[in-house]
Structure 1
Amino acid sequence: MKKNVLIIGAGGVSQVVAHKCARNNDVLGDIHVASRTVEKCEAIVASVREKGSLKVEGRLEAHALDAMDVAATKALIEKTGAQIVLNVGSSFINMSVLSACIETGAAYIDTAIHEDPLKICETPPWYANYEWKRREECEKAGVTAILGAGFDPGVVNAYAKLAHDEYFDRIDTIDIIDVNAGSHGRYFSTNFDPEINFREFTGQVWSWQDNAWVSNSMFEIRKEWDLPVVGTSTTYMTGHDEIHSLSQNLGVPTVRFWMGFGDHYVNVFTVLKNLGLLSEQPVTTAEGLEVVPLKVVKAVLPDPSSLAPDYTGKTCIGDLVKGVKDGREREVFIYNVADHKDAYNEVGSQGISYTAGVPAVAAAMLIATGEWDVKKMANVEDLAPRPFLAVLDRLGLPTRIREGEDDRALDFA
C-alpha cells in the first residue's frame, strides 16, 4: 500500500481534494498542500481544520513550492514522504511534476492534459505530444501515472469503458455532454482558471469522426440535448482532452465533446477574442511594457474559487453512447448530476471544482489500496471502471444510467 499525499495547487479543486483526502486519511495518510502562494495553501489547511474534515489524527501541512522546479518538487516529495502526488495545479506544470515523481518513485495523478504556454491546440492526439512519450520511462521506473483523473477527462472515460465492457458489443458513437446549469451571479466569469478555460476554445475544435480527426471552429456546431434534471440544454461541439485518448484506446469510430454555453458567454468570449485579448502571445504597450493579453484578462476576472458562496443550480455531465448489443441497436446515457450549493456546504467550493477534485481523490485511494497501482502510465479507460465508480459513489458523485424511460442508479451489488 502507498500512503501520504502531496497535493500540488491551491485553487478551488485543491480545496475539494484536501477536504476529501482528509475525510479518508485513514487510507491516504498524511496530507500536504503545496503551491507558489503558501498563504493559499494555509487557507485550505485552515478550512479543513475548521470543518473537522480529518477522519483520524494525522499531519496536515502547507508548503511553498514552485512546481516548475523539478529539483524543488523532488525535495518536497522526499521531505514529506509522499507516495502519491495529486497534481491539481496549472496544466503547464504536468511534465515537471511527473519528472519529480519518476525520480522519487511517487505515484502521479493529474486532472488535465499537459500544455505548453506558447502553444494552443496542438496536433492530435494531444496525449501523444507529451504524456505518452514518457510511457516507457514510467514503466521502467515502476511509477504509476494516472492521466486525466478529473471528471472530464476522467469519470467520463470510466463511463465509456463501462459501456464498452458491459453494455455494448459494438460502440458506434460516444458523445460526451457537459452542462453547467448553475448561476454564480457575476457579470462574467469562468468556472476554473480563465487562462486554461479560454485556451480550450480559441484554437481548432478537434473531434474524432468516422475514424479520422475533424477540425471545426469554436461555436460552429451547435446542438440541443434533453438531459436529466437540467432539462433542454444548448451545447457546442468543443475540443477536449478525453477525445484524444478514448479515440485511440477504445476503437470507437466517433467520439465528440459537447459543452453548454449561454448566449452571454458566447457574446463576451467573441468580443474578447476578436479584440485579441485572448491571445497567449506577448504584445508591447505604448509604454514599452510587454504583456500577454490572456494573462491580463485572467487578472481582471473573478478568481473562480470566489464564486462558490453564491453559486446555485446543478451540473449534468455524462456519456451518450450508441451502438449494438445482441444484434440490436442500443442507446445509453451514463451520467452524474451535482449541486453547487451542496458542494459549497460540504467543502467550500463550487460544483465544477467538486466534480473535478473528487475523482482525483478516488484515484488516489485506489492507488493506495493497490487496485489502480499499475506501476505504469495509464489513462482512466485503461483501468477497471467499477472500482473507481464505486468509490465515487461513496464520495458523493453517484453514477446513473438512463435508457429509454428507465433511469436508475448504477448497481454495485
Structure 2
Amino acid sequence: MKRNVLIIGAGGVAQVVAHKCAQNNDILGDLHIASRTQAKCDAIIASVHDKSAMKVPGTFASHAIDAMDSAAVAALIRQTGAEIVINVGSPFVNMSVLDACLETGAAYIDTAIHEDPAKICETPPWYGNYEWKKRDLCAQNGVTAILGIGFDPGVVNAFARFAADEYMDKVTSIDIVDINAGSHGRYFATNFDPEINFREFTGTVYSWQGGAWQENSMFEVGRDWDLPVVGTCRAYLSGHDEVHSLAANYPEADVRFWMGFGEHYINVFTVLKNLGLLSEHPVKTAEGLEVVPLKVVKAVLPDPASLAPNYTGKTCIGDLVKGTKDGAPVEVFVYNVADHKDAFEEVGSQGISYTAGVPPVAAAILIAQGDWDVGAMRNVEELDPKPYFPVLDRLGLPTRVQINGVDKAWNE
C-alpha cells in the first residue's frame, strides 16, 4: 500500500489531477504539487479549496522545482514523503523524474512519452529510445512505473487490451480515433501546450501496418468516422505514442492513430509551418535577437487553460478493434464521451485536460490499493484493465462498448 502523492507540473492537466487527487485523498493521503513557477501551483490549490474538493481534511502543499534536475526531484520526494509521483509536466522532464523515482523507490506515472527538446519524431519505437532502457532498473529496484496513462496514450491502450481479452482470440487491427467536437470560440488555439502540439504534427506519421513501420506525412491520409454522440467527423492518420507500445505487444495487428481536425486548423497550421514558424531551430531577428520561432508562436497563442470557461461540446475517443473469435470475424468499438462544460463546472478545466488528467489519478488509486503496484515498468496494455474501468467510471470517464449493433456499458 502506497500513500502520499507528488504532482509534477502546473498546467491544465495538472489542475484536473489535483482536483481528482483531492476528491480521493482518503485513499491517496498527503498531496503536493510542484513546478518551476510555484504561484501556478498555489493557484491550482486555491481552485481545489474553492470547489471544496478535499474529501477529508489533509495536506495539499505547493513547491518550486526544476524537474529537469533529478537530484532536486529526489530530494523533494524524500521531503514530502511521497510514495507516488504523477508527472504531468513537460515531456522533456520524463527521464529526470523517472530517475528520481528509481533513486527513492517512489512509484512513477506519466501521461506522454519522453521527448528530447532538440529532436522531433525520432526513430520508432519511440519508447525504445528512452523509457524502455530503464525497464531492467525498475524491475531490479522494485519500482512501479506506468507509462503513458493519460487518455491517449493510456485509456485507449486499456481499451485495446479489453477488446482483445473479452472478444477475440486474435487481433488483426487497432484503430484509435480521437475526435474533439467542441468549440472554444477563439480564432486559433491548441488544446494543450502549443509547443508539444505542433511538434507532434510536424514530423513523420508512423503507423504499424503489415508487420512493419509505415511512413506518411501529416494530413496525407484522412477518412470519415461515424461515432457515438458526435456523429460523422473527419480524422487524419497521425503519429502518436500508443502506436509504439501497442505495436510491440500486438505485432500481428495493424495499429493506427486517427485525430480529428477541421479545415481551419489545417489551414492555419499549414501557413505557420510553411513560413517556418513551427521550427524549433533558433533564428536571428533584424535587431540581432536570437529567437526560436516555435516558442514565439507558443507565446502569442492563448494559454490552453484559458479556453475552459467558454468551451462547449463533447469529445469522443475510442478504439475500433478487429479480430477473430473461433475463426469468425469480430469488430468492437470501445469508447468514452466527455463534455467540456461538465469538466469546467467540476474542476475548472476543459474536456481535453479532463480526459488526460483523470486517468493517471485512477492509476494512482490502483497503485495505492495494490492492484497495479507491480514493481516494474509497464505500458498500460500490459496491465489488467478490469480493476481500472470501475475507477474511471467513478471518477467521471465511463467506458462504453459497441458490438453487433448494441451500445452498452463495458460491464453489461
Pairwise TM-score range, normalised by the shorter structure:
over 0.9
What is the match of residue 116 of structure 2?
Answer: 116
Would you say 1:369 and 2:369 are equivalent positions? Answer: yes
Q: Distance in 1 between matches of 2:250 and 2:362?
A: 22
Taking structure 1 as reference, are residues 252 and 163 closer, same or farther at Cα in structure 2, changes over 3 Å only? farther
What is the match of residue 335 of structure 2?
Answer: 335
Aligned with 1:385: secondary structure? coil
Stretch moving more, 321-330 or 229-238 = 321-330
Q: Distance in 2 between matches of 1:96 and 1:289?
A: 31
Would you say 1:63 and 2:63 are equivalent positions? Answer: yes
What is the match of residue 166 of structure 2?
Answer: 166
Aligned letter for 1:257?
Answer: F
What is the match of residue 134 of structure 1?
Answer: 134
Q: Distance in 2 between matches of 1:409 and 1:377?
A: 30
Aligned with 1:43: secondary structure? helix
Alignment of 1:149-188 (within 5 A): 149-188=149-188
Aligned letter for 1:133?
Answer: K
What is the match of residue 404 of structure 1?
Answer: 404
**Offset at residue 165 of structure 1 (A):** 1.0
Q: Distance in 2 between matches of 1:46 and 1:15?
A: 10
Q: Distance in 1 between matches of 2:186 and 2:237?
A: 25
CA contact (8 A) 2:3 2:84 kept: yes
What is the match of residue 352 of structure 2?
Answer: 352
Q: Distance in 2 between matches of 1:249 and 1:100?
A: 27
Aligned letter for 2:121?
Answer: C
What is the match of residue 313 of structure 1?
Answer: 313
Q: Distance in 2 between matches of 1:165 and 1:247?
A: 16
Q: Provide Cα deviations, 1:321-354, integer angstroms capped at 9, x if missing partner.
A: 1111122111100000000000000000000000
TM-score, normalization by structure 2 = 0.99
**Offset at residue 375 of structure 1 (A):** 0.6
What is the match of residue 291 of structure 1?
Answer: 291
Give unpaired runs (5+ residues) of structure 2. none
Q: Distance in 1 between matches of 2:199 and 2:302?
A: 17
Would you say 1:250 and 2:250 are equivalent positions? Answer: yes
What is the match of residue 91 of structure 2?
Answer: 91
**Offset at residue 247 of structure 1 (A):** 0.4
Give unpaired runs (5+ residues) of structure 1. none
**Offset at residue 202 of structure 1 (A):** 0.2
Would you say 1:215 and 2:215 are equivalent positions? Answer: yes
Would you say 1:78 and 2:78 are equivalent positions? Answer: yes
Q: Provide Cα deviations, 1:370-412, integer angstroms capped at 9, x if missing partner.
A: 1100111100011001111111011100000011320011117
Would you say 1:26 and 2:23 are equivalent positions? Answer: no
Q: How large is the RMSD of aligned CA atoms in angstroms? A: 0.7
TM-score, normalization by structure 1 = 0.99
What is the match of residue 35 of structure 2?
Answer: 35
Q: Distance in 2 between matches of 1:336 and 1:217?
A: 28
Q: Distance in 2 between matches of 1:100 and 1:330?
A: 44
Aligned letter for 2:196?
Answer: I
Q: Distance in 1 between matches of 2:326 and 2:191?
A: 42
**Offset at residue 234 of structure 1 (A):** 0.3
**Offset at residue 280 of structure 1 (A):** 1.0
Aligned with 1:56: secondary structure? coil
Q: Matched residues, percent identical?
A: 73
Stretch moving more, 161-170 or 281-290 = 281-290
**Offset at residue 286 of structure 1 (A):** 1.8
Q: Provide Cα deviations, 1:104-153, integer angstroms capped at 9, x if missing partner.
A: 11000000000000100000000000000110111111110000010000
What is the match of residue 197 of structure 1?
Answer: 197
Would you say 1:393 and 2:393 are equivalent positions? Answer: yes
Taking structure 1 as reference, are residues 319 and 252 closer, same or farther at Cα in structure 2, changes over 3 Å only? farther
Q: Distance in 2 between matches of 1:203 and 1:321?
A: 26
Q: Distance in 2 between matches of 1:131 and 1:236?
A: 27
CA contact (8 A) 2:171 2:250 kept: no
Aligned letter for 2:161?
Answer: K
Superposition misfits of 4+ residues, deviation over 4 angstroms: none
Q: Distance in 2 between matches of 1:267 and 1:229?
A: 26
**Offset at residue 251 of structure 1 (A):** 3.1
Aligned with 1:242: secondary structure? helix
CA contact (8 A) 2:147 2:377 kept: yes
**Offset at residue 80 of structure 1 (A):** 0.5
